[in-house]
């Protein structure tokens, strides 16, 4: 068939575009470029990601509106009024704008240094169900710290741009005097990217910024120890992990709740929780584990949060060690959680993931430009004033002459030109002189005004010196940072735990809390599971089974061992033997699909019991392939219950085995061919869902069965043994001996 030329080829994917009475095809790539990409860029650049001043556009528009309303120094006003005014800059619904203001408010407790002074119910960041009141009921104004955002905005420090309908201007950035990008947390989800910036202590951030300006090689971690969360909590400090966050902008911080034990009431009171969870989520998780029997030390759980702050109370049973219980809860519930850092922000309109040092360097460059523009603006104002006062001083030589020129001029329009000629001054100076009131045309007034000339000249000279020196601009920034740190700095809220062993110690103590003893495990064909102690097994009678059911596997294990249940959907479900109750032989046991929430129609194909994941899983498939995967590939650091893609599903599973060392296997095809080979011929693969390698060559047939080969099982073993794979095997009528304990 003749190949089409590129220009004749039709697009692989096309979309039907319906017009007025006609339908035409259009390449889907072009459609996405024209319609989706502009939306994606708008979300990234104009909505979801913060910029170097520490604000998203929605935050900036709201705060600037409040500033223009005079709410920096005035009294509070209704939130509904603020929301309505903000719509002039932000074309969103009132609910979205009000929700933005809620998070910036002191009452919500989401920020270390709130920007909105609130009155009324603004909800709580640590509560999922505590809703904030409607905008018509609450009041707000700007916090004093906002003075550091707007004190220079009228002095040409930042660019302005027209709003969405070009009726007014708004700032592109705010001339912040401190690195607010690191002081308050900022979370945003854009298209194909996100941002998650944790908050740091204001004093530590200012100190670090100053140190970096003085020495670019400064060790950041020496002055900026760790994040500081509004809700406090205990940070489990890992210097290596923290250094990675500071260097790359990515990593995680482990935060633990703070609690105290009330001995008189025999209860634990939790007063600080991680920033990534809520009180309701913690209670739900505790209740879930209590119902499942994993937590048996708690009588009751109550949320006693009130005006004094967060408090979650756990009533304990008699004799319970509160510290051991909390270590258990830290592992099982969000009372200990991880804050994932992703320092992604916009620099010059482009998203960049940066470390702390790079962010501070960008902020210093941005702040340096603001200072430069402010100094230039002030200098030009002083130059204008100086120029006018120089002209005023010339009148001092002959005040009577100035009065006479004005009095003898016939037309008003000629006053300024005549003054210019009479005193040799320019138009601006002459206009300034002409506007002086009659009462001010005296020597005393003129002398007082002209006395400012030398001060203005000195100020202009200082400004020119600052503009010509980067060192002096940095000195101005450093002076501002020291002043802000002294004025607004607060002690750390999040305490650091400097011992890495805390996690290992907690894990060991929780493991010791699970009793360890010998058990016998039984699996039936229908998917029932029994865990029976040896004593109960010896004293018990026959196994109770469902009609038509039979035991297909059994093994000896310990109560602390872990379980992996493999299904025909390629999924592995993880559990622990301690999660199952000890039963007697006379009961049917736990139905695994219900216990582990299998999907509808999902079938159990193999169960592996392990204590240290040192074994190997060998799987055989209908297509004659064999996969050998180390059991360590299924080990996870977190307590995951479901591992997808744990078994290849291209071909049905015939048999699976757990081995410690390489063993010989006997395979038989549905056509009657038999082969024996060693698993050493198959190389292990770390990928859990590997397809494996062909071990039995099949033609118009399939693998019928696979079993572990034992000595003296069949005669003429040499006839069937192969040392190379794949092999077609040899014809033979072999009776297979399957050991249920091995399966």
Domain with CATH 3.90.199.10 in the chain: 49-156
Per-residue confidence at 23, pLDDT binned at 50, 70, 90? low
Domain with CATH 1.10.268.10 in the chain: 368-488
What pLDDT score does 403 carry?
A: 84
- Residue 182 contacts residue 359 (beta carbons within 8 Å): yes
Cα-based angle 112, 117, 121 (whole degrees, multiple of 5): 95
Per-residue confidence at 12, pLDDT binned at 50, 70, 90? very low
b or e along 150-180 (b: 16 or more beta carbons within 10 Å of the residue's beta carbon)? bebbebbbbeeeeeeeeeeebbebbbbbbbb
**635: three-class secondary structure by DSSP:** coil
Q: How high does pLDDT run on average in the chain?
A: 88
Mean predicted confidence (pLDDT) in 526-551: 87
Q: Which CATH architecture has domain 368-488?
A: Orthogonal Bundle (1.10)
CATH fold of 49-156 reads: Topoisomerase II; domain 5 (3.90.199)
Domain with CATH 3.30.1360.40 in the chain: 258-334
Q: pLDDT tens digit string along 409-419?
A: 888 888 889 88
- Joined tokens for residue 248: 């790359």
- Which are the catalytic amino acids? 137
Secondary structure element (H or E) that encloses residue 614, with its range: none
Residue of 459, 415, 127 lying closest to 281 (CA atoms): 127
CA distance linking residue 708 with residue 620, whole number of Å: 12
Q: pLDDT tens digit string along 416-433?
A: 898 888 888 988 988 888
Q: What values do phi and psi take at 352, rounded to 5?
A: -145, 135
pTM: 0.67
What pLDDT score does 735 carry?
A: 56
Per-residue confidence at 10, pLDDT binned at 50, 70, 90? very low
In this structure, the number of other CB atoms found within 10 A of the CB of residue 332 comes to 17
- Residue 701 contacts residue 660 (beta carbons within 8 Å): no
Provide, rounded to the nearest whole percent, the portion of the chain with pLDDT above 70. 93
Mean predicted confidence (pLDDT) in 336-343: 94
pLDDT surpassing 60 at residue 9: no
What pLDDT score does 16 carry?
A: 53
77 to each of 61, 66, 119, 134, how far by Cα in Å? 17, 10, 10, 14
pLDDT surpassing 70 at residue 337: yes
What pLDDT score does 39 carry?
A: 85
- Joined tokens for residue 222: 């020496």
Q: pLDDT tens digit string along 490-521?
A: 999 999 987 544 444 444 444 445 677 889 99
DSSP per position, 497-510? E--THHHHHHHHHH
Please say whether the structural domain 258-334 has been given the CATH code 3.30.565.10.
Answer: no
């Amino acid at each position: 068939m003749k190949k089409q030329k590129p220009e004749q080829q039709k697009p692989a994917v096309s979309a039907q575009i319906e017009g007025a009475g006609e339908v035409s095809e259009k390449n889907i790539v072009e459609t996405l470029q024209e319609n989706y990409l502009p939306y994606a860029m708008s979300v990234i650049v104009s909505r979801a990601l913060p910029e170097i001043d520490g604000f998203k556009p929605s935050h900036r528009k709201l705060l600037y509106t409040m500033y223009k309303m005079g709410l920096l120094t005035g009294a509070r006003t209704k939130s509904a009024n603020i929301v309505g005014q903000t719509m002039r800059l932000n074309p969103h619904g009132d609910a979205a704008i009000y929700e933005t203001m809620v998070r910036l408010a002191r009452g919500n407790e989401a920020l270390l240094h709130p920007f909105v002074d609130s009155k009324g119910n603004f909800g709580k960041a640590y509560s999922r169900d505590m809703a904030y009141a409607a905008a018509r009921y609450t009041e707000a104004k700007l916090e004093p710290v906002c003075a550091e955002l707007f004190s220079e905005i009228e002095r040409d420090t930042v660019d302005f741009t027209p709003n969405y309908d070009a009726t007014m201007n708004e700032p592109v950035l705010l001339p912040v005097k401190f690195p607010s990008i690191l002081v308050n947390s900022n979370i945003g989800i854009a298209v194909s990217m996100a941002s998650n910036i944790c908050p740091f202590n204001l004093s530590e951030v200012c100190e670090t910024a100053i140190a970096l300006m003085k020495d670019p090689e400064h060790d950041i971690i020496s002055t900026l120890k760790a994040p500081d969360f509004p809700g406090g909590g205990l940070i489990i400090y890992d210097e290596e992990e923290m250094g990675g966050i500071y260097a790359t902008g990515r990593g995680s911080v482990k935060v633990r709740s703070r609690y105290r034990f009330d001995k008189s009431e025999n209860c634990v009171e939790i007063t600080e929780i991680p920033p990534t969870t809520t009180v309701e989520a913690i209670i739900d998780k505790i209740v879930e584990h209590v119902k499942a029997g994993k937590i048996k030390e708690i009588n009751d759980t109550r949320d006693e949060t009130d005006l004094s702050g967060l408090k979650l109370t756990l009533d304990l049973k008699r004799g319970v060690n509160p510290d051991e219980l909390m270590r258990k809860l830290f592992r099982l519930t969000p009372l200990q959680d991880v804050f994932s850092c992703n320092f992604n922000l916009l620099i010059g309109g482009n998203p960049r993931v940066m470390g702390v040092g790079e962010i501070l360097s960008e902020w210093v460059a941005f702040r340096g430009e603001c200072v430069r523009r402010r100094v230039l603006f002030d200098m030009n104002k002083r130059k204008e004033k100086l120029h006018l006062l120089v002209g005023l001083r010339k009148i001092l030589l002959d005040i009577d002459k100035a009065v006479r020129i004005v009095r003898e001029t016939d037309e008003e329009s000629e006053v300024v030109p005549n003054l210019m000629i009479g005193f040799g001054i320019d138009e601006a100076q002459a206009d300034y002189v002409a506007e002086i009131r009659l009462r001010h045309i005296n020597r005393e007034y003129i002398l007082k005004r002209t006395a400012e000339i030398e001060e203005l000249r000195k100020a202009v000279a200082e400004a020119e010196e600052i503009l010509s020196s980067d060192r002096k601009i940095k000195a101005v920034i450093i002076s501002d940072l020291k002043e802000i740190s002294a004025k607004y700095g607060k002690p750390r809220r999040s305490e650091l735990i400097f011992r890495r062993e805390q996690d290992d110690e907690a894990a060991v103590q929780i493991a010791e809390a699970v009793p360890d003893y010998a058990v016998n495990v039984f699996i039936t064909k229908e998917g029932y599971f029994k865990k029976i102690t040896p004593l109960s097994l010896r004293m018990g009678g026959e196994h109770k089974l469902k009609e038509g059911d039979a035991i297909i596997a059994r093994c000896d294990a310990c109560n602390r061992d872990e379980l992996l249940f493999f299904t025909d959907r390629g999924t592995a479900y993880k559990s622990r033997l301690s999660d199952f109750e000890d039963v007697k032989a006379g009961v049917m046991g736990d139905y695994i699909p219900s216990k582990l929430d299998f999907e509808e129609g999902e079938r159990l194909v193999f169960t592996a019991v392990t204590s240290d994941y040192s074994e190997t899983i060998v799987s055989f498939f209908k297509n004659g392939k064999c996969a050998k995967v180390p059991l360590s590939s299924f080990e996870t650091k977190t307590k995951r219950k479901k591992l997808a893609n744990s078994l290849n599903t291209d071909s049905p599973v015939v048999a699976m085995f757990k081995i410690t060392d390489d063993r010989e296997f006997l395979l038989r095809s549905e056509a009657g061919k038999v082969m024996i080979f060693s698993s050493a011929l198959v190389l292990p693969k770390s990928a859990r869902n590997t397809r494996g390698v062909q071990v039995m060559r099949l033609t118009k047939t399939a693998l019928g069965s696979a079993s572990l080969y034992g000595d003296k099982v069949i005669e003429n073993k040499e006839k069937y043994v192969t040392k190379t794979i794949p092999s077609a095997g040899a014809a033979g009528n072999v009776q297979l001996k399957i050991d249920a304990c091995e399966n």
